[in-house]
Amino acid sequence: MDGIDRCIDDEIPFEIPDSWVWARFGQVIFLLSGTDFNPKEYNDTQKGIPYITGASSLSENGVLLNRWTETARVIANYGDVLLVCKGSGYGKTVICDIEEAHIARQIMAIKKFITLDMHYVRLFLQANFDKIKSKGQGVIPGIDRNSVMNLLFPIPPLSEQRRIVEKQRELFDKITLI
């Protein structure tokens, strides 16, 4: 990390296959932190691009649109993983299903990478939900960038990431039938 080799053997939570590697999450992703607007900078008349304000703007199926801005500065794009980092819904994740949107301070975006299956990234965050939530600080609970960036992230080959995602979908589909 930072050009310095560090032993993380004491931190490794479980064994992984030889074809996988451990990394700090922040070493393999780009994390974008949002910024808020004052009310004069957004609208509800669909002028500009969508403005994602917090957990209430996210559903299990994607982004809910109710605000727009013509002065966007911090842009999340289609395929990015959105992570609520502040407020009552902190820890909630969704994959951005719209072309582009400005994200508020309550949201972080993990930018899409071709070397990572973003559904796998989301599964990783969901699997670490309790760990992420335990890092919540302040009167209004929130997650700081370092807590996300320093997570240990097991990285399988891309084909294996896709198999894991597909298996999870298959198993959850069976559970919903019960």
Three state DSSP letters for 75-109 = EEECCCEEEECECCCCCCEEECCCCEEEECCCEEE
Q: Quick: pLDDT tens for 22-43.
A: 999 999 999 999 999 999 999 9
Determine the distance from the C-alpha atom of residue 104 to the mean position of all C-alpha atoms in its chain, rounded to a whole number: 14
pLDDT at residue number 2: 62
Strand ranges inside the chain, DSSP E: 21-24, 31-33, 49-52, 58-59, 62-63, 68-69, 75-77, 81-84, 93-95, 100-103, 107-110, 152-155
What rounded mean pLDDT belongs to the chain?
90
In this predicted structure, what is the pLDDT of residue 109?
A: 97
Give the alpha-carbon dihedral of 53, 99, 81, 111, to 10 degrees.
-110
CA dist 82 and 92 (Å) reads 8
Inform me whether the pLDDT recorded for 137 exceeds 80: no
Judged by DSSP in three states, 152 sits in strand
The residue count for the chain: 178
